[in-house]
Structures are given as C-alpha cells and as structure tokens.
Structure 1
Amino acid sequence: MTPDTAVREAEHAQDDPWGRLNPRLFLVNLSVVATPLATFGATTVLTGGEVNLQVLITCATFLITCLVISGISLMRLITTRYRITEDRVELHKGWLFRSQRSVPVDRIRSVDLTANPLHRIFGLTSLKVSTGDQASSGGGLSLDGLSNRDADALRSRLSELRHARQGLRTADGDTDTTIAELDWAWLRYAPLTLWGVGGVFIAVGSVYRTLHEMKIDPLELGIVKDLEDRFGSVPLWYGILVALLVIVLIGVAGSTATFIEGWGGYRLDRPETGMLRVRRGLLITRSVSIEEQRLRGVEVAEPLLLRWAGGARVKAVASGLGDEDENSSRSRLTPPVPLALARRIAADVLGAEVSPTDEADLAPHPRAALRRRINRALRWVVLIAAPFVGLGLWLTPALVHTGWITALVLLPVCLAFAHDAYRNLGHAVHGPYLVTRAGTFTRRTAAVQRDGIIGWSITRSVFQRKAGLLTLGAATAAGSGVYKVRDVSVSEGLALAEEAVPGLLAPFIERHPARR
C-alpha cells in the first residue's frame, strides 16, 4: 500500500460516521430486574405468604446480581460505537477495559440477525458478523441492541460491499429463491422426541433445587399436601401409571410448543448467489446465513421415533459456523420434515438432481460388526437385570423373579436394536462424496466432499482387533469435524481411505513383504 493510498483511506474512514446502539436497549436491560421480583412473588404464593429469612436473602442476592448485570449492560450501551468503511467493520466498546475490533469485509462470511422476545417488544435485534473462524472468540463481532431498521440497513450495506469485492450478485427479485417453507402439517412430527419428556424432569429438578436452597421442603407445600390428600389412597401402580401419563402429556405439549417457537416462520432460501439463508423463530427470531463455497456436504438425521413416522432432519456440513455449540445450532437447515422432502432439500442444497445420501449404493459391513452389537445388547440386558437378582438373593426372592422377567422382556428388544444398528451401517464413495451411515436411536447419513477431507483417524479397541475390524474417521474442517465409518474390516477400511482420497493415508501404512 502506498502512502497516498493510506492517506486516502484514512480520509474516507474519517468521513464514515460512528453509529451507536439504540437507547431502547436501556429498557431491555432494566427489565432483567423483573426476574427476581417475579421469583419472590411466586415463592410467596407457593408458601402461602410465609417467607423465611433464607428466601429473603436468596431473592435479595438475585436482585443485586441482576442490578449489577443491568449496570454492566448500561455501560456497554454508553460506550459501544461502530462504523462501516469501504473495506472493514470497526467496533469500539468498553470504559475500564477498552476493546477495539476491526474485521475486513473480505473476511466476512455471514451476517446473522437474532431477536429474543424482549428485543422484539422494543423493536430491537442483535447483529452478528461472522468471519468463519471455528473458535467462538476467534473472529467476527456482535452488535446487541440495534433497531430493526438499522440492522437491516447494516446487513444490506455489508452485502453490497461483499458483492463488490467478491463478484457476487443478489438474486433476481422476480426469481423464486425459496428452497423450503414451513408447512404446519410437519407439526405432527413435533412430539416424536424424547427431549420434551426429559425437559419435564429437568424443570422439576430445577424447581426442587431452588426451593431446597431456600430451605423450603417441596413435600410440605400446600399444593403437594392437597394432591396427597386426594390421591394418597389410590394403589401404587395406578399412581405410577397416572404420573407417567401426565409426564408424557406434558412432554408432548412441551415438544410441540418448542417446535412452534423454534420453527415458526421457517424459510430456507438463496437471497444471493452463493449464499444459503435460514430464517425461523416465533418468539426468538433467527436469520442464519451459510456461504455455499464453505459447504462440504449434508447430513440427514433420523431419530428413532421420527424414522418410524417417516421423517428426518437435514443439517449442513459446512466450515466457519463457530464452535461446537454454534455449529450444532447454525447448521440446521430444516425442522423434522417428511423423509422424501428432506432428501429433496439435501439435493437442492448440494446442487444435485438426487442427494448422494439417497442415491449412493452403500456397502454392507462384515458380520463381525453384527456380533459386536449383539454382545453389546447382551451386556445391557445383564447390567439392567443383575441388580434385581443381586438384591433378591440378599433380600427377597421376589426381586430375583423380577430380574429374570426383566431380562426376558429386554432380551428380544435389545437384540432387535442390535440387528437394526447393523442394518444401518454402510459406506460408499459416490462421485465427489464419501457417504457414511450409522446409528439406531438416531440414524445419520452423511455425505462429505472428498476434497474436503484433510486427514484420517483409525481407532481399534481390543474387541475390534480380535474381530479384525476398525473405525475409520474422515477428518474435515466442516461440521462435526470427523465423520466415522464404524466397524469395517481392516482391508476394506484402508481401501476405502485410498479410494476416497488417494495418497493421503499411504505414507502411514506399513507394508510387510509377502511371505514365501
């Protein structure tokens, strides 16, 4: 860069005004104080107006913490300023600890918008500029508290700069760029997950722990006492069945509500050439962009219950989506959808007529892989039934009979799962993709571009060595990082690695001379 060029850029930078976060962010920060007040009110109602010293101390501590958080957020509102020049985005913030960040436009990979319910009430949104670094703090910047208009203007401005520098073009407004939109018929797949039932136990456990910290015994609450007086005389087995039914119903309702909130307004489209965008969310709105040149494949996931109902989910195998947690969230291309639609979306995203996850002719795995899964199923049966038998030999023969009955019931179920897990194993080299499939509780079929594979990992447990098997892992900078071909024979696994990426594994293979 010549001195004259540097001077001109400095002059342009001085002409670009600095922007600030929207003042309405102060109201959002102040609303945090409502949480401890609501907690105190709910505790007062549950205890019938009897509030002990521990409750007061806990709620006061919570209130002080929220006030400190509000103060820190207010300081961020006062000190944060940003601007966009012709070649970079600059962010300055902090008072005691000052932070200055500058991101070149050439490095910007996506601009995402997120708005939680409080932000939406006050017409605000958060803008995140991602540079594609895997580490969460490795690049990019965030502006939390822009007005919707300012956020849209900033995203449009950055898009124009990227177009000018990378030769991209915005999709024609007369062309339908939509790949998929929400169909409320998909709501039938929402209850087919165990997360709703698990969420009930997590919520109950959290409430119990909070009350316990306040020195309140949940079993002594008036509501619990009323339930005990009304249903305390029913048989134990009936109470257990009713409790399980209530938990399942609450879990189903929770899963359905989570689906509606997370995927309301869903749309997958191409807003510009070379870019995928996923917009979704009812209360918390999200807009995630994925650069197609960083796309390395797709993954079609079929959880067990969803698979039985003929549904699946599609995830992008792409680099630059952040750390593990961010990648798990930002890589989701669809909610649970019909399997045929999932395959069509996977093909459309990859620019193919038929998705390689569906078209590839997967090779079966050795029978030794089936034996490993049968042995694993038998171990689970023994581990579950053995405690009943052991306690029965010590306490009462009735538990011994319970253990044997448990084993007899679990044996065919576990063996069925073992055979299903074996049938789901498969691998293939299909055109430019390595395709691998495995799993029974969640069957995952992943198609990864072969030129995106940067290394191989080979793992062999003691049992695998005895069976002549290995697990071959294709390492890539995209998605989960490693996509495994599980329990394949040694010769077949090495041949697969050589066929997928010729020469990559060869320097690490020790060849023994042929015996005479």
Structure 2
Amino acid sequence: MTPDVAGAAPWRRLNPRMLAVTPLSGVIRLLPVAVVLLLTGQGDVVGRLWVPLGIAVLLVAGGVVRWRTTRYRITDERVELHTGWLRRQRRSVPRDRIRTVDLTAKLLHRVFGLSVVQVGAASGSASESSGLSLDAVSKAEADRLRRELLDRPRADLPAAPAPAPGEELARLRWSWLRFAPLTFSSIAGIGAVGAAGFNLFDDLGLDPRELPPVDDAAQRLTTAPLWLGIAVLALALLVVAVVGAVLLFAERWYDYRLTREAAADPDAAPGGTLRVKRGLLTRRSLSVSERRLRGAEVVEPLLLRAGRGAQCHALSTGLSRDAQGGALQPPVPRAEAHRVAALALREHPEEVTLAPLRRHPRAALQRRLTRAVGPAAAVVVLAFAAGWAVPLPWLGPASLALLPVAALLALDRFRALGHELTARHLVARQGSVQRRTVALQRAGVIGWTFRQSVFQRRAGLVEVEAVTAAGAGGYTVLDVSAPDGVALADAAVPRLLTPFLVPPGDVSDGGGGCRTGRG
C-alpha cells in the first residue's frame, strides 16, 4: 500500500490470517445448530444441512470483504481506521487522547498467532469515546502497536530501542483460589453455564429428569423429608457454584502478571506503563500509561470482605465500565490489594488507600439509620398486614428479623465512611455491601459538585463529589459537615473553588446542588 500523500504514514491492512479466523469463529458457533438439525430434522442429511452450509459460505465471503475494506494507519498525531463496504465507517482518535491499549487473543486467535488490539481513548466526541479496535493483527505487530501508541518519543531524537522486560509488581498465587467462590461475578457465571446446559437439553429434545440415574434420585428425594430434599439441593448447588467459580477464576487469571515497563523515551514520556497479563483460553493484556493514571480503587464486595479479601482497580480514562474494567489483580487478600494500589501509584500505602481517615459527624449515622431502618419497618408492617389477610400468622413475626439486620447494616455503613487529604491524593471510603476505598490524584480533579437534599440541609451535611475524567467520572465524599466539605474541596485543589466560595452551611443553589470546575 502506498501513502495517500507524499511523506504521510502508509495505510496498513489487517493480518491475512484473519481470513481463516473470522469464518471459523462463525462456523464454531453454528455447530450446535448443525447438531440439532442432524438429530431432529426431517429428510436427508444434505437437506438438513443446507441452511448452516449456506451461512458458512456467507461467513467466508463476509470475512474476505471485511479484510479487503479494513485499513488503518498511525500518524504522528492520530490513529485512523476505515472499515465497511455497504456501510463505511471512518474513525479517528488523537494520539494524545489514548489512555489504554488492551490486547486480547481468544483460543482461535492464538492458534493462528493473532491478537485483537483495543485502543481506549479519553472521552471527547461521541466517535472518540470508545477508541477503536483492530481485529486482528499478528502477535508481534500487536505488541509493537502497544508500545508505539503508549510511548510518544520526541521527533528530534532517534527511535529508542524496545524496553527491557518490566519490573514485576505481582504474580498469581494459587492460594488466592479460596477467594473465587466469594465473588458475585463468578457465581453469576455458573448460572449462565447452567442456563446454557438447560437450553442444550431443550434443543436436543431431552428431559434430564427422564435419564435413569436422575429419575431414581428424584424418586428417593420425593419420599424423603422436605428438609432433607432442600438440604441436598442446596448442597448440590453450593458444590456446583464453588467448582464453577474456581474454574472460571483459573481461566480468567491463569499466568497473571502485573509489571511496570519503563518508557522507551523517559525524557519525552516520563513514567512507565502498567501492564496486566492474564488468561488461559483467552489471553488478555491490558496496558495503562502511568502518565494517564489518576488513582486507584480497592473494592471489597460483601462476600469477599467477609473472607478478608479485596481487589484493586486502576482509575484511568479509556477503561471499560464492567466489573473487571481496570482490574490490576484478581480477588486477593486485603493487604495485597492495598500493596498493589500503593505500588501502582508509587506511594506508601498510608499515603493512599491505607491512609488514616477522618470520621464523619454523628448526623451521618442518624441518616444511615433512618435510610436503613425506615424501609425495613415499612416491610415489617406490610408483612404483618399480609400475614393477617392471607392468613400466614408466622409472616409478621418472622419479618421482625429485618430490623436488627437493617440497624447493623446502617452501623457498618457509618463505620465505613471516611476521608482524608494526603500530599498528592484525595482518599475517600464508603459502602457496606460494596465497600470502596478510592485514592484519587488531586491533580486529576477537574471540578466539584456539591449536593444537599432537604434532609441533609437540616442535618448540616453535604455530599461532595470530586469530578475527574478517569474511572467513574466522579468520586463522592458522603455526608460531611457543610463547612468541612467546602474546606476539603478548596484545600484539595487550591484556587479552583475560591471564586465560587459561598457562606458555610449554604452550599446549595436551592435546587439541590451546585457545580464548579475547570476545563
């Protein structure tokens, strides 16, 4: 391919081996349909297979058209991708907006030595908000693109050599498998696997209850006491959930490594790159430039916290918003999560996520109790009314157990509240069912949002949100006193809030909130 303009970067095509990967991926997805047609269809074999064969031919033709119509190039300023035949798309991402480069290689891609390059960009226009994806390039080309896009050497200097193998910050320990059953995502994955198995039996016209061993076991359970049947079913589900969660954990985090790679040109690109490599069947590699890193977050879901576990996430633009977006490690012991957060931010743990936090006023406890016990009391009243109307006399008294549970939840939420301003970071913690400790760089705060409901105003409390371009877009310090909230925002980013300061206790504009920021 020749450049469009003399001296411009040349256009490149995707690797020709994707001509085999794309149709094969579609054919593999068609195999269950072909099996069902063979087992349940009518007529001869050819007559039953003409539909999947026709689809396979279309997949091959579509793969050829996609390869012929997809081009990309990398200039000094932009990454451009042109795709489509009937519907053409032109996507262009400025290189200074690139925040992450994610390499993914599914099993079929790995067989052919290919990888998918996902470029994550900062939010700009709608076309740039999600970056772009190159599916697929060779493994060597993918690694070269990763380094090229994250490092921008100065034009007046010669090209730097490829960086040496990075400094290892963390690696997989198989003892962490004990945390696998304590994650909601893994247990939800077991439900998806079970649903897929049920659908397969349904497509094949089979009833699992009609299988001889299952039928005999069902008869024995029907003659046993009810409590025994419930216990056996609960135990079976627990075993399936634990085994499945461990298998999913192993597939997702096999050969996990967290490394820090030095920049190819430290003078032009200070800082390095955090790189997470993991996966068994699908190999994944996430690279986050430290220049674009705005903080770290330690997440402790309820079950994981009960097992004294946690997980660390990076705060940067260009990362996906799902549960694993920006994950720097699998679920690990709590101390390990705080250690990785400190290493990622190049700080002492007590300067970031383990910083001693200031307690919030007792008025915040009253709000937690009101918001937790109030709805629980309403449910108890409804339970007594329903138990009297049905009648179910045990329903009302049984619902009384909700009241102490709600009170304990409120107390736990209050104990979790805290914030602190360290030399370089704003540290805030909140939550009970999903406890989160955030260390956000003060330099990454681009604005403040103050919210104050009628009840907060009466209690003298305010909700302060630090607005940032990274992560969730904003991180909240819940229910601090109004003077402390204004002082916190003014101290975190000096001179940003000063022109907008209002008398203490009156941070609202009458509509429930006010906002200030910088471009």
CA displacement at 1:298 relative to structure 2: 1.1
C-alpha distance in structure 2 between counterparts of 1:301 and 1:513, whole Å: 32
Name the structure 1 match of 2:398: 405
Q: CA separation of 1:150/1:390 partners in 2, compared to 1, >3 Å: closer, same or farther?
A: same
* Aligned residues of 1:434 and 1:450 also touching (Cα < 8 A): yes
Per-residue CA deviation, residues 192-237 of structure 1 (Å, 9 max, x unaligned), is 123333344455556668988x797979865876654342223333
Name the structure 1 match of 2:237: 247
Name the structure 2 match of 1:476: 468
Name the structure 2 match of 1:393: 388
CA displacement at 1:77 relative to structure 2: 2.1
Name the structure 2 match of 1:5: none
Name the structure 2 match of 1:354: 349
The answer as to 2:464 corresponding to 1:467 is no
Name the structure 2 match of 1:339: 334
- Aligned counterpart in structure 1 of residue 107 of structure 2, from 114, 117, 127: 117
CA displacement at 1:20 relative to structure 2: 3.5
- Aligned counterpart in structure 2 of residue 316 of structure 1, from 296, 314, 337: 314
CA root-mean-square deviation: 3.8
* Aligned residues of 2:420 and 2:427 also touching (Cα < 8 A): yes
- Aligned counterpart in structure 1 of residue 132 of structure 2, from 137, 141, 144: 141
Q: Residue type matched to 1:290 in 2?
A: V
* Aligned residues of 1:277 and 1:289 also touching (Cα < 8 A): yes
Name the structure 1 match of 2:175: 185
SS in 2 for 1:349: helix
Name the structure 2 match of 1:4: none
* Aligned residues of 2:421 and 2:427 also touching (Cα < 8 A): yes
CA displacement at 1:254 relative to structure 2: 2.3
Q: Residue type matched to 1:268 in 2?
A: L
* Aligned residues of 1:21 and 1:143 also touching (Cα < 8 A): no
| Structure (1 or 2) with the greater helix fraction | 1
CA displacement at 1:448 relative to structure 2: 1.1
CA displacement at 1:31 relative to structure 2: 3.6
Name the structure 1 match of 2:427: 435
Q: CA separation of 1:17/1:252 partners in 2, compared to 1, >3 Å: closer, same or farther?
A: same
Per-residue CA deviation, residues 422-455 of structure 1 (Å, 9 max, x unaligned), is 1110011111211111111222111112222122
C-alpha distance in structure 2 between counterparts of 1:400 and 1:125, whole Å: 62
CA displacement at 1:134 relative to structure 2: 6.0
Which piece of structure 1 moves more, 479-488 or 343-352? 343-352
Per-residue CA deviation, residues 11-55 of structure 1 (Å, 9 max, x unaligned), is 3348x47434223443442342333431564698xxxx66799xx
Q: Residue type matched to 2:312 in 1?
A: V
Using the size of structure 1 for normalisation, the TM-score is 0.81
CA displacement at 1:136 relative to structure 2: 7.5
* Aligned residues of 1:28 and 1:119 also touching (Cα < 8 A): no
The answer as to 2:246 corresponding to 1:256 is yes
Q: CA separation of 1:305/1:134 partners in 2, compared to 1, >3 Å: closer, same or farther?
A: farther
- Aligned counterpart in structure 2 of residue 96 of structure 1, from 86, 92, 97: 86
Q: CA separation of 1:133/1:63 partners in 2, compared to 1, >3 Å: closer, same or farther?
A: farther
C-alpha distance in structure 2 between counterparts of 1:513 and 1:440, whole Å: 28
* Aligned residues of 2:297 and 2:312 also touching (Cα < 8 A): yes
SS in 2 for 1:502: coil
CA displacement at 1:479 relative to structure 2: 1.1
* Aligned residues of 1:12 and 1:85 also touching (Cα < 8 A): no
Per-residue CA deviation, residues 391-410 of structure 1 (Å, 9 max, x unaligned), is 321223xx2323313423x3
Q: CA separation of 1:71/1:133 partners in 2, compared to 1, >3 Å: closer, same or farther?
A: farther
Name the structure 1 match of 2:289: 291
C-alpha distance in structure 1 between counterparts of 2:405 and 2:102, whole Å: 45
SS in 1 for 2:349: coil
* Aligned residues of 1:389 and 1:403 also touching (Cα < 8 A): yes
The answer as to 2:148 corresponding to 1:151 is no
Q: CA separation of 1:354/1:324 partners in 2, compared to 1, >3 Å: closer, same or farther?
A: closer
* Aligned residues of 1:32 and 1:70 also touching (Cα < 8 A): no
C-alpha distance in structure 1 between counterparts of 2:248 and 2:505, whole Å: 61
Per-residue CA deviation, residues 482-513 of structure 1 (Å, 9 max, x unaligned), is 11111222222222222222343444444399
C-alpha distance in structure 2 between counterparts of 1:414 and 1:169, whole Å: 60
Name the structure 2 match of 1:26: 20
* Aligned residues of 1:433 and 1:447 also touching (Cα < 8 A): yes
Q: Residue type matched to 1:363 in 2?
A: R
* Aligned residues of 1:21 and 1:80 also touching (Cα < 8 A): no
Report sequence identity in percent.
40
* Aligned residues of 1:346 and 1:355 also touching (Cα < 8 A): no
SS in 1 for 2:6: helix
Q: CA separation of 1:208/1:406 partners in 2, compared to 1, >3 Å: closer, same or farther?
A: farther
Instruction: List aligned pairs for 1:230-241, cutoff 5 A.
Output: 230-241=220-231
* Aligned residues of 1:344 and 1:355 also touching (Cα < 8 A): no
Using the size of structure 2 for normalisation, the TM-score is 0.81
